[in-house]
Amino acid sequence: MAEIKPFRGIVYNQKRVKIEEVVSPPYDVISEKERKVLAQRSPYNIVRLILGRDKNWFQKAAIYFKTWLKNGILIQDKQQAIYPYYIEYTLNGEKKLQRGFIVRTKIEPMDKGIILNHEKTFSKVVYQRLKLLRATQAHFSQVYGLYNDSEDKICSFLTSVTNTTSPFIDVKINNIRHLVWRITDKQQIKTIQELMEDKKIIIADGHHRYRTVLAYREEMKKKFHSIPPDASFNSVSMYLSNLRDRSLSILPIHRVIPESSLVSFHLENFIQGLKKFFNIEVYKEEGNFWSRFNELNNIQTAIGLYCQDMLKEFYILILKNTNWARNLPPFLKKMDVMVLNRLIFKKILGFSEAEMNQEGFIKYVTDAQEAITMVKEGKGRMVFFLNPIKPQQLKEVVFSSHLMPRKSTYFHPKLLTGLVINSLEL
Whether 408 is covered by a domain: the verdict is: no
184 and 289 share a domain? no
Is it the case that residue 125 has pLDDT exceeding 90? no
Same domain for 261 and 229, yes or no, is no
Report the pLDDT averaged over residues 159-178: 96
**402 pLDDT above the threshold of 80:** no
Helices (H), 23-100: 32-41, 47-50, 57-70
Length of the chain: 426
Determine the 3-state secondary structure of 182 from DSSP: coil
Q: Does residue 131 have a pLDDT over 90?
A: yes
User: Is there a single domain that holds both residue 233 and residue 289?
Assistant: no
- If asked whether residues 198 and 296 sit together in one domain, one would say no
Instruction: Tell me, yes or no, whether 122 and 164 share the same domain.
Output: yes
- Over residues 279-298, mean pLDDT: 94
pLDDT in tens, 207-247: 889 999 999 999 988 888 777 878 889 999 999 999 999 99
Q: What is the pLDDT at residue 391?
A: 86
Peptide bond into 388 cis (omega under 30): no
* Alpha carbon distance 423, 426 (integer Å): 6
Q: To the nearest whole number, what is the mean pLDDT of the chain?
A: 93
Residue 122 has pLDDT above 80, yes or no: no
Residues 288 and 340 in one domain: yes
Instruction: Decide if 402 is inside a domain.
Output: no
Query: What is d(CA 95, CA 88) in angstroms, rounded to the nearest whole number?
Result: 7
**Whole-number Cα distances in Å, 250 to 117, 296, 420:** 16, 17, 24
What are the angstrom distances between the C-alpha of 143 and each of 149, 204, 305, 391? 19, 8, 33, 18
Residues 262 and 193 in one domain: no
Per residue in 78-99, pLDDT (tens digit) is 999 999 999 999 998 999 999 9
Q: Mind giving me the DSSP string for 382-407?
A: EEEE-PPPPHHHHHHHHHTT--BPTT
Work out the pLDDT band at 120, boundaries 50, 70, 90: confident
Residue 392 pLDDT greater than 90, yes or no: no
Proportion of the chain above pLDDT 90, given as a percent: 75
Q: Which domain holds residue 98?
A: 4-249+413-423
Four-point Cα dihedral 83, 89, 91, 96, nearest 10: 70
d(CA 168, CA 164): 13
pLDDT tens readout for residues 350-378: 999 999 988 899 999 999 999 999 999 99
Please indicate, yes or no, whether residues 303 and 327 belong to a single structural domain of this protein: yes
Average pLDDT for 145-171: 95
Instruction: Identify whether 282 is part of a domain.
Output: yes
In a domain, 394, yes or no: no
Same domain, 72 and 137: yes
Provide the 10 A C-beta neighbour count for residue 39.
Answer: 15
Provide the whole-model pTM.
Answer: 0.91
Q: Is residue 209 part of a domain?
A: yes
**Alpha-carbon gap, residue 101 to 103, rounded angstroms:** 6
Is residue 157 helix, strand or coil?
A: helix
282 or 326, which is more confident: 282
Please indicate, yes or no, if residue 398 is contained in any of the structural domains.
no
268 & 213 share domain: no
Q: Is residue 401 part of a domain?
A: no
- Domain match, 100 and 224 both: yes
- Residue 393: inside a domain: no
pLDDT at 292 over 90: yes
Q: Kindly state the average pLDDT of the residues 382-388.
A: 95
Q: What is the pLDDT of residue 397?
A: 83
State the pLDDT at residue 395: 84
Q: Is the pLDDT of residue 426 over 80?
A: no
Count of structural domains, the chain: 2
Are residues 43 and 188 part of one domain? yes
